[in-house]
């Protein structure tokens, strides 16, 4: 028995092995047959058929069908019914459909199917590229892809910046599907070794008109250069243009136009109620505040024209505590803060989000009650996208736009041209309440807020001045003094305009990361801004550049001159106003008027022999006056002087006899000898100085150690005055702002400054994860990856995406 049993045991292995091989071969055969059937169904599909109502009517692979079902998508929307069959048959598509009509699935389903039918594997590299104009939208598309693609074995990634290029690059070559912003993608195609898109099967442009527009155009053109010409291209937007030049730029091959709502009565969703309020610029904030107060139980998005407007309105309304959680979002915030705010507003039931057009397109916030356009959009297309954040996919929504009397006729004409139904409403007299006095007293008490107000004023007026559509935006008709007063400002800031600027170009100018240089990489890291050559950065500069900050130092405001700000701001602001904070003011840079204004808050120390005047505009600079060393550079080179009998000073050569002077030798040689002697002397002195500095450092270190020792021994070191740090003046420039109460504080609803709560461990952080992953990798492709917890951050999402790779 035993030998037999052993014999039997020895025999079992080859049998088992061949059994497994047979099973694999059978499965492969089955898969091939299924694939063939699927191809046949696609060939037989009539893309114009009106019978296609449900996803189940489409020839879709099992993993896609299961993903759609699990995500509760059953019935096709119009644009999906129009576009998906054509896309499955390999056509290039130009799709236009109203906001919230389901365009995302109209391109994601074909993406998955194309790669599935091509039997794409991780070894085939990048198969599909989806381009989005904003990071937020890219993240959202990625999330939908993750949901409906959960039963596929493809790997998918996000390329939107926010982390170092190197970190992103490491994952790229494993990805089959990438969702990206154009600039960042171009950077990788240009710079990441071993990564290319030579195999690309399908290119998608979401919000295509925006991506083909100014600002993005050069990046997109350069990006397309990297892609193979033989590919399928899908373009979607709610406001699609059919520009022949754009189609040529993308080498579209006989594209099919899917424009499902072209014949519709309105260009906006039918469930959307649209209103306008005529309110003079000088009363706009009053109207906005009153409106928010009257809708405290709502979810509201307020669109403003620039990041500076957003910050001022958010900060000032926060202090007024309207009684609804407030949030704000603009392009200069850090990546993680932007994502955090987006997801907080997504989850909120009642909240008011002040935002720039960074969320005007594509973002699918659920159940938004009101879209308020407090600042008039640059054109009717922007209007359509903004209002499209409400009344999405069969839900109801309301929108209101505030128009200055000078904007009314022009804007209404533009809206009419686009078939946008809108009704005038008036603010009830008893609901009107002026917040001007409160803003004035807040700005008076709080220079930081005043400074934000000044920036907001400049940014707004400048954007109006630069608008292209002069029939709508009539700068001369605006009451600027009244507007400044309505923001609580004590005076009207002066503004300068540069000729030849164009708001559309400025606004569409890509955010950091659009160029392929390394500079933008630093910006995308969210940490450093590239330092311009020779530029001196002070601690105030660094503080000012800190993204996501709500307040500014009072000192910094003193360094700023309104009129001069504009020159450079365009370099660092992506929100449409090219204004900058000038680091230090040189005399030459100031015009007379500005100089007078500036001198009232700063002393200029001149006549010190140096090239640059020393401006005493802060405590730090005042302190520097006491330091000989610090003042050296302002003193210029020393000049040896001699005095005549009357006590007047002269340069040495002025009083010397010319013959004596010539006898001493050639002037050039004398000068060189003098410089050499002095250099030697300085070098010797330098040795002493270094020793001195070393001694001082040692002394300081000893003191610190003694202090630490005292602390360890339980003795209060401050009781020993010798050890107290005399250099620390303890000044906190943000102290005042911090002391003010904030709306929503304590409730946790609006506490952006709050450190994030420690989050629970994720599925991929589990200790045994590696082992589990290894085991899973052995299993058949296409298996579902269990996710214990919903991903919360970008890292989670990416880890998850990497996890999809079998």
Q: Which residues in 345-438 belong to E strands, given as ranges?
A: 351-355, 370-373, 397-403, 423-424
Q: Which stretch binds ligand ATP (CB under 6 A): 93-101, 226-234, 481-489, 777-785?
A: 93-101
Of 106 and 422, which CB lies nearer to ligand ATP in the complex structure?
106
Burial of 137 (0-12, 13-18, 19+ CB in 10 A): buried
Of 141 and 480, which CB lies nearer to ligand ATP in the complex structure?
141
Of 360 and 403, which CB lies nearer to ligand ATP in the complex structure?
360
Angle at 746 between CA 745 and CA 751, to 5 degrees: 50
Asked if 343 touches ligand ATP (CB under 6 A), the answer is no
State how far the Cα of 363 lies from the Cα of 342, in Å rounded to an integer.
9
Angle at 84 between CA 81 and CA 86, to 5 degrees: 105
Asked if 75 touches ligand ATP (CB under 6 A), the answer is yes
Q: Which stretch binds ligand ATP (CB under 6 A): 100-108, 162-170, 301-309, 587-595?
A: 100-108
C-alpha closest to that of 519 among 509, 530, 511, 527: 530
Instruction: Quote the least distance from Cβ 277 to ligand ATP, whole Å.
Output: 24
Q: Which stretch binds ligand ATP (CB under 6 A): 94-102, 695-703, 780-788, 789-797?
A: 94-102
Of 209 and 523, which CB lies nearer to ligand ATP in the complex structure?
209
Q: Which stretch binds ligand ATP (CB under 6 A): 75-83, 307-315, 471-479, 523-531?
A: 75-83
Of 238 and 458, which CB lies nearer to ligand ATP in the complex structure?
238
Q: Which stretch binds ligand ATP (CB under 6 A): 102-110, 335-343, 593-601, 784-792?
A: 102-110
Instruction: Quote the least distance from Cβ 68 to ligand ATP, whole Å.
Output: 8
State how far the Cα of 98 lies from the Cα of 530, in Å rounded to an integer.
40
Asked if 52 touches ligand ATP (CB under 6 A), the answer is no
Instruction: Quote the least distance from Cβ 109 to ligand ATP, whole Å.
Output: 10
Asked if 105 touches ligand ATP (CB under 6 A), the answer is yes
Q: Which stretch binds ligand ATP (CB under 6 A): 34-42, 68-76, 399-407, 618-626?
A: 68-76
**Residues forming a β-bridge with 353:** 301, 327
Check if the beta carbon of residue 719 is closer than 8 Å to that of residue 707. Answer: no
Asked if 82 touches ligand ATP (CB under 6 A), the answer is no
Of 80 and 298, which CB lies nearer to ligand ATP in the complex structure?
80
State how far the Cα of 677 lies from the Cα of 655, in Å rounded to an integer.
24
Asked if 364 touches ligand ATP (CB under 6 A), the answer is yes
Provide the pairing of β-strand 272-278 with 397-403. Answer: parallel
Of 140 and 306, which CB lies nearer to ligand ATP in the complex structure?
140
Instruction: Quote the least distance from Cβ 77 to ligand ATP, whole Å.
Output: 5
φ, ψ (nearest 5 deg) of residue 222: -65, -40
Instruction: Quote the least distance from Cβ 363 to ligand ATP, whole Å.
Output: 7
Helices 217-225/182-191 angle, 10° precision: 40
Check if the beta carbon of residue 72 is closer than 8 Å to that of residue 125. Answer: no
Among 290, 362, 397, 493, binds ligand ATP (CB under 6 A): 362
Of 181 and 548, which CB lies nearer to ligand ATP in the complex structure?
181
Among 59, 102, 125, 377, binds ligand ATP (CB under 6 A): 102
State how far the Cα of 566 lies from the Cα of 577, in Å rounded to an integer.
8
Q: Mark residue 627 as left, alpha or beta (left: phi above 0; alpha: psi -120 to 50; beta: remaining).
A: beta
Q: What would the DSSP string read from start to end of 514-574? A: -SSSHHHHHHHTTS-PPPPTT----HHHHHHH-TT-----HHHHHH--HHHHHHHHHHH--
Asked if 103 touches ligand ATP (CB under 6 A), the answer is yes
Q: Which stretch binds ligand ATP (CB under 6 A): 103-111, 575-583, 671-679, 733-741?
A: 103-111
Residues 6 or more apart from 627 whose CB is under 8 A from it?
none
Among 38, 45, 60, 76, binds ligand ATP (CB under 6 A): 76
Asked if 104 touches ligand ATP (CB under 6 A), the answer is yes
Instruction: Quote the least distance from Cβ 162 to ligand ATP, whole Å.
Output: 22
The structure tokens listed for 627 are 């330091």
Helix, strand, coil percentages for the chain (3-state, nearest 5): 50, 10, 40
Of 105 and 742, which CB lies nearer to ligand ATP in the complex structure?
105
State how far the Cα of 122 lies from the Cα of 119, in Å rounded to an integer.
10
Of 63 and 362, which CB lies nearer to ligand ATP in the complex structure?
362
Of 141 and 189, which CB lies nearer to ligand ATP in the complex structure?
141
Q: Which stretch binds ligand ATP (CB under 6 A): 10-18, 70-78, 546-554, 763-771?
A: 70-78
Of 104 and 454, which CB lies nearer to ligand ATP in the complex structure?
104
Please give the residues from 774 up to 793 whose contact with ligand ATP meets the rule CB under 6 A.
none
Residues 6 or more apart from 549 whose CB is under 8 A from it?
543
Asked if 523 touches ligand ATP (CB under 6 A), the answer is no
Please give the residues from 224 up to 283 whose contact with ligand ATP meets the rule CB under 6 A.
238
The structure tokens listed for 349 are 């039931």
State how far the Cα of 655 lies from the Cα of 176, in Å rounded to an integer.
84
Among 52, 61, 101, 351, binds ligand ATP (CB under 6 A): 101
Check if the beta carbon of residue 355 is closer than 8 Å to that of residue 302. Answer: yes
Provide the pairing of β-strand 232-237 with 603-605. Answer: unpaired
Asked if 132 touches ligand ATP (CB under 6 A), the answer is no
Among 52, 61, 64, 77, binds ligand ATP (CB under 6 A): 77
Check if the beta carbon of residue 360 is closer than 8 Å to that of residue 385. Answer: yes
Of 147 and 620, which CB lies nearer to ligand ATP in the complex structure?
147
Instruction: Mark out the alpha helices in 641-666 (DSSP H runs).
Output: 652-655, 658-663
Of 393 and 444, which CB lies nearer to ligand ATP in the complex structure?
393
The Cβ of residue 541 has, within 10 Å, a number of other Cβ atoms equal to 17
State how far the Cα of 316 lies from the Cα of 287, in Å rounded to an integer.
14
State how far the Cα of 123 lies from the Cα of 100, in Å rounded to an integer.
36
Of 80 and 219, which CB lies nearer to ligand ATP in the complex structure?
80
State how far the Cα of 404 lies from the Cα of 467, in Å rounded to an integer.
15
Among 99, 181, 279, 548, binds ligand ATP (CB under 6 A): 99
Asked if 73 touches ligand ATP (CB under 6 A), the answer is yes
Residue that is written with structure tokens 């405290």 in the block: 296
Q: Would you give the end-to-end CA distance of the chain in angstroms?
A: 45
The Cβ of residue 444 has, within 10 Å, a number of other Cβ atoms equal to 13
Please give the residues from 384 up to 403 whose contact with ligand ATP meets the rule CB under 6 A.
388, 392-393
Instruction: Quote the least distance from Cβ 55 to ligand ATP, whole Å.
Output: 7
Q: Which stretch binds ligand ATP (CB under 6 A): 101-109, 179-187, 493-501, 783-791?
A: 101-109
Instruction: Quote the least distance from Cβ 106 to ligand ATP, whole Å.
Output: 7
DSSP class of residue 75? B
Binding site for ligand ATP (CB under 6 A): 73, 75-77, 80, 97, 99-105, 238, 362, 364, 388, 392-393
């Amino acid at each position: 028995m035993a030998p037999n049993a052993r014999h039997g045991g020895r025999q079992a292995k080859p049998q088992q092995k061949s059994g497994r091989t047979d099973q694999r071969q059978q499965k492969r055969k089955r898969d091939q047959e299924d694939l063939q059937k699927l191809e046949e169904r696609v060939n037989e599909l009539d893309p114009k058929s009106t019978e296609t109502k449900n996803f189940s009517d489409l020839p879709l692979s099992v993993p896609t069908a299961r993903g759609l079902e699990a995500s509760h998508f059953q019935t096709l929307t119009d644009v999906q019914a129009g576009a998906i069959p054509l896309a499955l048959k390999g056509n290039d598509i130009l799709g236009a459909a109203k906001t919230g009509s389901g365009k995302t699935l109209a391109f994601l389903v074909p993406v998955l199917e194309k790669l599935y039918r091509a039997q794409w594997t991780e070894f085939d590299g990048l198969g599909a590229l989806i381009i989005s104009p904003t990071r937020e939208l890219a993240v959202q598309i990625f999330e939908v892809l993750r949901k409906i693609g959960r039963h596929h074995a493809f790997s998918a990634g996000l390329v939107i910046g926010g982390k170092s290029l190197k970190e992103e690059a490491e994952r790229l070559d494993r990805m089959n599907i990438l969702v990206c912003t154009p600039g960042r993608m171009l950077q990788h195609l240009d710079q990441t070794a071993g990564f290319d898109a030579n195999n690309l099967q399908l290119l998608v442009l979401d919000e295509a008109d925006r991506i083909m527009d100014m600002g993005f155009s050069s990046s997109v053109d350069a990006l397309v250069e990297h892609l193979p010409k033989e590919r399928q291209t899908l373009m979607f937007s709610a406001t699609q243009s059919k520009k022949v030049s754009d189609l040529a730029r993308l080498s579209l091959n006989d594209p099919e136009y899917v424009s499902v709502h072209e014949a519709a009565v309105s260009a906006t969703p039918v469930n959307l109620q649209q209103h306008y309020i005529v309110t003079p610029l000088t009363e706009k904030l009053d109207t906005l505040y009153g409106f928010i107060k009257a809708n405290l139980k709502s979810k509201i998005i307020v669109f403003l024209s620039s990041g500076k407007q957003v910050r001022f309105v958010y900060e000032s309304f926060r202090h007024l505590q309207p009684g609804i959680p407030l949030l704000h979002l603009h392009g200069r915030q850090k990546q993680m803060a932007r994502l955090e705010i987006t997801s907080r507003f997504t989850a909120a039931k009642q909240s008011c989000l002040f935002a720039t057009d960074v969320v005007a397109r594509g973002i699918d916030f659920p159940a938004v009650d009101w879209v308020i356009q407090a600042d008039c959009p640059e054109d009717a297309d922007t209007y359509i996208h903004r209002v499209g954040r409400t009344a999405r996919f069969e839900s109801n929504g309301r929108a209101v736009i505030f128009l200055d009397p000078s904007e009314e006729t022009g804007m209404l004409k533009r809206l009419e041209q686009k078939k946008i139904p809108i009704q005038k409403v008036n603010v009830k007299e008893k609901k009107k309440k002026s917040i001007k006095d409160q803003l004035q007293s807040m700005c008076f008490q709080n220079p930081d807020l005043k400074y934000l107000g000044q920036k907001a004023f400049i940014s707004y007026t400048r954007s109006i001045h630069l608008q292209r559509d002069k029939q709508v935006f009539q700068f001369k008709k605006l009451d600027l003094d009244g507007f400044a007063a309505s923001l609580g400002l004590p005076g009207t800031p002066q503004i300068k305009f540069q000729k030849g600027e164009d708001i559309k170009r400025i606004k569409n100018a890509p955010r950091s990361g659009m160029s392929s240089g390394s500079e933008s990489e630093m910006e995308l890291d969210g940490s450093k801004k590239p330092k311009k050559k020779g530029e001196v950065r002070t601690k105030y500069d660094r503080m000012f550049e800190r993204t996501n900050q709500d307040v500014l130092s009072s000192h910094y405001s003193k360094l700023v001159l309104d009129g001069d700000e504009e020159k450079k701001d365009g370099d660092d602001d992506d929100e449409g106003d090219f204004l900058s904070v000038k680091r230090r003011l040189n005399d030459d840079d100031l015009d007379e008027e500005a100089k007078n204004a500036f001198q009232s808050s700063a002393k200029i120390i001149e006549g010190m022999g140096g090239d640059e005047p020393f401006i005493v505009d802060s405590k730090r600079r005042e302190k520097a006056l006491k330091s000989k060393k610090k003042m050296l550079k302002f003193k210029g080179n020393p000049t040896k002087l001699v005095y005549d009998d009357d006590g007047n000073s002269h340069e040495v050569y002025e009083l010397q006899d010319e013959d004596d002077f010539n006898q001493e030798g050639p002037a050039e040689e004398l000068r060189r000898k003098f410089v050499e002697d002095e250099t030697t002397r300085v070098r010797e002195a330098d040795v002493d100085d270094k020793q001195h500095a070393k001694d001082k450092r040692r002394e300081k270190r000893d003191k610190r150690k003694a202090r630490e020792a005292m602390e360890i021994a339980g003795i209060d070191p401050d009781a020993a005055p010798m050890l107290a740090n005399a250099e620390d003046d303890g000044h906190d420039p943000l102290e005042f702002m911090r002391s003010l109460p904030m709306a929503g504080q304590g409730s946790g609803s609006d506490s952006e400054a709050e450190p994030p709560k420690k989050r629970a461990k994720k599925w991929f952080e589990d200790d045994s994860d590696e082992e589990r992953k290894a085991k899973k990798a052995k299993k058949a492709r296409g298996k579902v990856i269990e996710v214990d917890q919903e991903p919360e951050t970008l890292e989670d999402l990416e880890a998850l995406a990497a996890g999809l790779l079998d």
